[in-house]
Amino acid sequence: MIDVKVNGTGPVREDASALASDGGVNGANGHGNGAAVDASNGFALSNLAFAEELYFQFVRDPASVDPTWRAYFLGLESPTSRDKAPAASIPPAAFSRSIFAATAAAPKIAEGNPTASRTSVRLLSERVQRLVEAYRELGHLSANLDPLGLLKRAGAPLKLEDQGLAEEDLDLVFSSENVAGPDRTTLRDLVELLRETYTRQIGVELAHLHDVELRGWLQNRMERTRNRLALSRADRMRLLDQVIGAEVFEQFLQNKFLGAKRFSMEGAESLIPLLERLIERAARSNVVEIVIGMAHRGRLNVLANVLKKPASQIFAEFLDKQDPSEDPSGGGDVKYHLGFSIDRTFDRTFDRASERTSPGAPSNDTHKVHLSLTFNPSHLEWVNTVVQGRVRAKQDRISDGGRTRCLPLLLHGDAAFAGQGIVAEAFNMSELDGYRVGGTVHIVINNQVGFTTSPHDAKSTTYATDVARMLQIPIFHVNGEDPEAVCQVVDLAVDFRQRFHRDVLIELWCYRKHGHNEGDEPSYTQPIMYRTIATKSSIRAAYLEHSAKNPLPEGEAPISVEEADTIAARKRHELESELEVASRWEAPQRPSTFMGAWESLRGGAERNVPQVPTAVTREAIEQVGAALTRVPPGFNLHPKLKKLIVEARAAMAAGDKPCDWGMGEALGYGTLLAQGIRVRLSGQDSRRGTFSHRHSTFFDTETEAEYVPLQHIRDKQGIFDVRDSPLSEAGVLGFEYGYSLDMPEGLTLWEAQFGDFVNGAQVIIDQFLASSEAKWNRVSGLVMLLPHGMEGQGPEHSNARLDRFLNLSVNDNWQVCNFTTPAQFFHALRRQVLRPYRKPLIVMSPKSLLRHPLATSPLRDFTDGAFQYVIPDVTIKDPKSLRRVLLCTGKVYYDLFAAREERGARDVAIIRVEQLFPLHKDEILKCLADVPGGTPVTWVQEEPKNLGAWPFMNRELPGMLKGSFPWSLVSRPLSSSPATGSATRHKREQARLMDEAFAIDTGKDNN
């Protein structure tokens, strides 16, 4: 049986494969090369019309067609058909289901002018095909999406005449086999099906999808149901209950806390049933954890009605009573940025959500899902990749290889989604192996205004969501005034994500009932819109109306206004009781954030944390060394790497050669991995290393097969996950930060290509890394490797903005280090995981020191040593004779060391501050213990005076020196640009620094 699709993207029938071959119409005119006709193969889709034309020719005059065709057509005909007049003969079965065989029109062909009618039948059929395609691809432009009815757009070309059809064609019957539903239908019914599916309250964008399977799956799902759910009365009651819950919550806050900012979700109440259905459906399809990221709008409502945060706790935050025992220096965050988590359980038997109040193992008929709303800053959209990183860590932790059990759910505002570039970064990351999370579900709450800015000033695109078209994912637009349509797209979205493991997006069209916040007057800037909103009835009322107009299948009574009022009264009563509870509390309750995987860990002050041994045995070094220098049999290693990496590392592991930086780092990771600890490192070109020093991955020179030596240390070792990232700082740093939040037992690192580019991720640094403990009592053990150092490479390859990190350094919020030896780096990496302490570690990492002959460490520094906050100058035998003490950090130490050698300046000590923050002043004082008072102490840095560590050191050290040591600076002069672009000038500046550092004290005060 030959079967035809209405267009090329519909579901493919099993027997349709025969059509794929070019069977039988190779000749230019059908009379051509008979040998080209292979009738047994059937016809290619594109040739069917041609074959049909030929058939009609055969019916008129069998001798007029090529013998091969003749034989074929004769074979297709039934034994009786030849007895009839040719023009009246029934088309062969081969064509009976063809889009070109409009059966209702066939008799007309027989009766009238056959040639003309045949042409018009074919044309008509093609036009129907175009109409179907227009609905599928452009129908969304005509969908009724805007609850305010203000949206003006041209719509899609869906009128019959747009496609060359007319009213009189409506009763012709066409094959509709590849539109879900009956195989044949009148044009009238077909149009109705398409209209209902694609242009009611749901608009779906799929024209950008190249993937035929994906399109077919979607079309089938939507057309089969006409994009509607058949809901029972109980389902509708539940939806109404959720809408009313959302509405009453906002009104209650408005009445009780007049004028307080809450970022009301009125106008978008359908978000609550949307989320409820989404979570339940996800739970039923195997999802056990959902991490949510959302902005301010409706957040309190979501916390109360979806995350089930007790309303009393939210009210207590409004009452803002302070706990007198808490640190008065600030901290905490506004209530609409706070996180929360809870377990929700959905009961399968009764098909409804029920919160289990009694603990205990869930029975088989329940689905439990853990929900976690991620804390976030005001910076819209920046939480996105943090959420995704968290989910990736959760998936890794439970070995969710299919990535179907943990789901990221991101809620966005329309203006923020269209405007913030980090949205595109996250989409770009979504399909990459190193960052994939099995698909994020995005909900864009389109209230058609951003603060006071209207959409025409906020985006250049048709929809606020258009950036998502870069992915092969469907984009659903739905009118938020129709909660049932909302539920339909939720089902599609969740099922799509679980089946195709990709992102999916729902845009919820709604409105913002009030101003941006409760103090704003929206009619200053959107007077027409707000006049419309003022006369608009609530979502609750709209749904009641819908319910009345759309009778229930079993003829049950529609839901009445009284029933709705009863629900509302009950909800108000519940909130009153919660408010009473809150008013009795002294202060809001602060949930502990050190639970689960975090139980044994802590943040707080560094001095309260015990040091742990970080040295390793010689055997441990040998074990890692063996892995680092082994390649699988038959692996074609690059000859240069054999010498520069493998042989060199073998000599280092054997103690025949001091370890260089790459080896120190590899030993740090390797020894942790051997202890079963997971290590994840990502960054631009991180596998090789920007400076070709890491070579964590070898590539076979013949096959490009990959081999990662650190993945082969021993059985049951920790997982080593090293990734080359996309060219993004913000998105990737956010992701790794998120990963570190949910993998506290592992070592997670992000590396910048050059430290200078880190400012592209400044929001993640300021709003998350630096302040998350103060704001949300959440800490992270993320390591940032930021290549830093003045080496004549110009303004953008010299400076990781150490000054900014130090400026933000307070209350032991993180650690900022600038190491001078590989062993120091090694101990710091190990300490980062082995201490029960989690704080971000910011490393000013080296470039030229990677190959500096002095920046090496002997094996004993790994087997006997420990991390040193400050490295004293052990070359000074007689501190009393010192003329000057130089304090410095990082690479400049080696410049000073060489300059001292050159000058033979034995009366100058050089002390290295390896950890700048938290600053261990006691360790510095120890180094000065035997130095006579009055000896000048000079901070030397390569950076301009306004950059580098000086501003911080000049804040911290003078008090400690208590005037006993004159305090001064040697640096480059003040500059708005971090470094010169001229290598010659760089050298000159560097030489001057050395001269000044060793010059006889002029008494000049540099401060």
Ligand X SMILES: Cc1ncc(C[n+]2csc(CCOP(=O)(O)OP(=O)(O)O)c2C)c(N)n1
Residue ranges that bind ligand X, judged by CB under 6 A = 297, 378-380, 413-416, 445, 447, 449-451, 512, 516
Angle at 882 between CA 881 and CA 885, to 5 degrees: 165
Complex with ligand X: residue 138 or 730, whichever CB lies closer: 730
Residue 240 CB, nearest approach to ligand X (Å):
24
Complex with ligand X: residue 440 or 815, whichever CB lies closer: 440
Tokens of 300: 């309190």
Complex with ligand X: residue 380 or 786, whichever CB lies closer: 380
Residue 451 CB, nearest approach to ligand X (Å):
4
R_g over Cα of the chain: 36
Q: Which residue has the tokens 């004769």?
A: 74
Residue 476 CB, nearest approach to ligand X (Å):
18
Q: Which residue has the tokens 């060489």?
A: 898
| Residue in 69, 75, 74 with CA at minimum distance from that of residue 35 | 69
Complex with ligand X: residue 413 or 664, whichever CB lies closer: 413
**Contacts with 1007 (C-beta within 8 Å, 6 or more apart), sequence order:** 954, 967, 968, 969
Complex with ligand X: residue 516 or 920, whichever CB lies closer: 516
Complex with ligand X: residue 512 or 571, whichever CB lies closer: 512
CA 383 – CA 464 distance, rounded (Å):
19
Complex with ligand X: residue 133 or 466, whichever CB lies closer: 466
**Contacts with 808 (C-beta within 8 Å, 6 or more apart), sequence order:** 765, 766, 770, 771
Residue 207 CB, nearest approach to ligand X (Å):
25
Residue 258 CB, nearest approach to ligand X (Å):
21
Complex with ligand X: residue 264 or 440, whichever CB lies closer: 264
Residue 262 CB, nearest approach to ligand X (Å):
12
Work out whether strand 908-913 and strand 870-871 pair parallel, antiparallel, or are unpaired.
antiparallel
Residue 331 CB, nearest approach to ligand X (Å):
20
Residue 464 CB, nearest approach to ligand X (Å):
8
Scored b (16 or more CB within 10 A) or e, 468-488 reads: bbebbbbbbbbbbbbbbbbbb
Residue 468 CB, nearest approach to ligand X (Å):
15
C-alpha distances out from residue 124 to 103, 107, 169, 181, 550, Å = 12, 15, 8, 21, 35
Complex with ligand X: residue 309 or 516, whichever CB lies closer: 516
Q: Which residue has the tokens 């042409």?
A: 119
Task: Give every strand in the sheet of 815-817, ordered side by side.
Answer: 720-724, 679-683, 747-751, 783-787, 841-845, 815-817, 915-917
Complex with ligand X: residue 444 or 816, whichever CB lies closer: 444
Complex with ligand X: residue 412 or 986, whichever CB lies closer: 412
CA 5 – CA 97 distance, rounded (Å):
10
Closest residue by beta carbon to ligand X: 413
Complex with ligand X: residue 447 or 465, whichever CB lies closer: 447
Residue 416 CB, nearest approach to ligand X (Å):
3
Maximum separation of any 2 CA atoms in the chain, in Å? 125
Q: Which residue has the tokens 């993998």?
A: 743
Residue 575 CB, nearest approach to ligand X (Å):
23
Residue 882 CB, nearest approach to ligand X (Å):
52
Complex with ligand X: residue 200 or 516, whichever CB lies closer: 516
The full length of the chain comes to 1007
**Contacts with 790 (C-beta within 8 Å, 6 or more apart), sequence order:** 798, 799, 891, 942, 943, 979, 986, 990
CA 177 – CA 195 distance, rounded (Å):
17
Residue 358, number of CB atoms within 10 A of its CB: 4
Residue 151 CB, nearest approach to ligand X (Å):
15
**Contacts with 426 (C-beta within 8 Å, 6 or more apart), sequence order:** 384, 385, 388, 440, 731
Residue 480 CB, nearest approach to ligand X (Å):
13
Residue 767 CB, nearest approach to ligand X (Å):
10
Complex with ligand X: residue 382 or 698, whichever CB lies closer: 382
CA 280 – CA 293 distance, rounded (Å):
18
777 phi-psi bin (left φ>0, alpha ψ -120 to 50, beta other): left
Complex with ligand X: residue 515 or 792, whichever CB lies closer: 515
H helical segments located in 596-716? 618-628, 639-641, 648-653, 661-674
Could you write out the DSSP letters of every residue in 849-893?
Answer: GGG-TTS-B-THHHHT----SEE--TT-S-GGG-SEEEEE-TTHH
Residue 683 phi, psi dihedral angles, 5° rounding: 170, 175
